[in-house]
């Protein structure tokens, strides 16, 4: 029974990966049921039963979520082009659907996103993936690596995760102005709290970009710092990387006690190995999670 369930999850994971890679393509029932190797007469019910969302709703939300990233982070792309990319023939239809989902018009979201409402609106996507399709890690997935100290520019986020989007916007704008492209300047997130602390205001994370020269005085609350070098347990996290908490829990709950190692006095952090969303699709972003060791 366990093997059969794992096989079902693997087939459904193929479908999610296919959707991620083909948001601009044909994602009708025939195509997706073929990817899953399930009968099209039953696939839609199997998908809904597994993820709590219909296939149509999942695809619609995935396209709309990508559109929201492009509105927030791609000033040069017009609303009309974003609407077309999301599968809408007319900007008005896209605007109505976007307002219904997020509570803001596309132009209002672009100017001043309500990230709290955004989290509520697109939470079902992350919930569907994390609740039903958890990645199973093994001890063989973890390697111990000696990493060099890395000078970084740091923008701190302190407070409710619902406002993290505002900090990310400021960080992206600052690094663009500073000429620190993600392709040439490493991107790190230092997690100084749990993803969902008991008190939301206690959420704490540092957004970091690798630097090779001093940081000039600025108004964006960016400061210089160093990610210290030393031994680290490294866990590679492929695909959708919006929620790294399951990977962190595996390192702390399973790998660390069994390894005989001890954690060093620096928070767990990650490095994003490719450009930030939305410069590349979410499925192409690869993350390595680092647990510093003594």
C-alpha pair distances (Å), 291 with each of 72, 98, 139, 188, 196: 31, 39, 14, 13, 19
Q: Are residues 150 and 221 in the same domain?
A: yes
Q: What does the pLDDT read at residue 218?
A: 66
Q: Are residues 193 and 265 in the same domain?
A: yes
Q: Are residues 14 and 147 in the same domain?
A: no
Q: How far apart are CA 154 and CA 174, in angstroms?
A: 11
CATH number, domain of 199, equals 3.20.80.10
Q: Is the pLDDT of residue 246 over 70?
A: yes
Residue 49: give the domain boundaries: 2-132
Q: Are residues 20 and 119 in the same domain?
A: yes
Count other Cβ atoms within 10 Å, centred on residue 54: 13
Q: Is the pLDDT of residue 14 over 60?
A: yes
| Token output for 185 | 């300047």
What pTM was computed for the model? Answer: 0.73
With contact defined as beta carbons under 8 Å apart, do 179 and 215 qualify?
no
What's the structural domain count of the chain?
Answer: 2
Average pLDDT over residues 41-64: 89
Q: Is the pLDDT of residue 190 over 90?
A: yes
CB-hemisphere CA count at 13 Å for 268?
A: 21
Q: Residue 148's pLDDT band (boundaries 50, 70, 90)?
A: very high
Q: Are residues 70 and 192 in the same domain?
A: no
Q: Are residues 144 and 121 in the same domain?
A: no
Average pLDDT over residues 32-36: 91
Average pLDDT over residues 18-31: 88
Q: Are residues 199 and 101 in the same domain?
A: no
Given 95, 110, 132, the domain boundary residue is 132
268 vs 176, higher pLDDT: 268
Given 132, 165, 185, the domain boundary residue is 132
Q: What does the pLDDT read at residue 145?
A: 96
Q: Are residues 114 and 151 in the same domain?
A: no
Q: Are residues 88 and 213 in the same domain?
A: no
Q: Are residues 18 and 82 in the same domain?
A: yes
Q: Are residues 57 and 148 in the same domain?
A: no
CATH number, domain of 117, equals 1.10.10.60
**Residue for token pair 């991107």:** 187
Q: Residue 173's pLDDT band (boundaries 50, 70, 90)?
A: confident
Q: Are residues 114 and 144 in the same domain?
A: no
> For 29-33, 187-191, 283-287, which range has the lowest pLDDT when averaged over its residues?
283-287
Given 102, 132, 162, the domain boundary residue is 132
């Amino acid at each position: 029974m366990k093997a059969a369930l794992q096989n079902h999850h693997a087939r459904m994971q193929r479908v999610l990966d296919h959707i991620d890679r083909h948001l601009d393509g044909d994602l009708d029932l025939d195509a997706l049921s073929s990817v899953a190797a399930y009968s099209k007469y039953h696939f839609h019910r199997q998908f809904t039963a597994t993820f709590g969302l219909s296939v149509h709703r999942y695809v619609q939300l995935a396209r709309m979520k990508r559109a929201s990233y492009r509105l927030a982070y791609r000033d040069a792309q017009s609303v009309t082009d974003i609407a077309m990319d999301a599968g809408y023939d007319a900007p008005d239809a896209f605007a109505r659907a976007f307002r219904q989902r997020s509570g803001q018009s596309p132009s209002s979201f672009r100017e001043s996103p309500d990230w709290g409402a955004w989290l509520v609106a697109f939470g079902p996507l992350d919930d569907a993936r994390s609740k039903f399709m958890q990645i199973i890690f093994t001890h063989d997935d973890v390697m111990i690596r000696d990493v060099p100290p890395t000078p970084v520019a740091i923008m701190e986020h302190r407070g409710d995760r619902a406002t993290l989007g505002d900090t990310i916007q400021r960080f992206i704008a600052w690094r663009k102005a500073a000429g620190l492209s993600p392709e040439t300047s490493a991107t790190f997130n230092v997690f100084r709290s749990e993803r969902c602390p008991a008190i939301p205001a206690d959420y704490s994370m540092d957004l970091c970009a690798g630097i090779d020269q001093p940081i000039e005085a600025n108004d964006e609350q960016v400061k210089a710092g160093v990610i210290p070098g030393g031994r680290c347990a490294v866990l590679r996290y492929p695909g959708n990387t919006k929620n790294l908490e399951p990977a962190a829990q595996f390192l702390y709950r399973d790998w660390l006690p069994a390894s005989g190692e001890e954690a060093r006095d620096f928070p767990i952090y990650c490095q994003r190995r490719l450009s930030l969303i939305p410069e590349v699709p979410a499925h192409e972003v690869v993350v390595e999670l680092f647990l510093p060791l003594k």
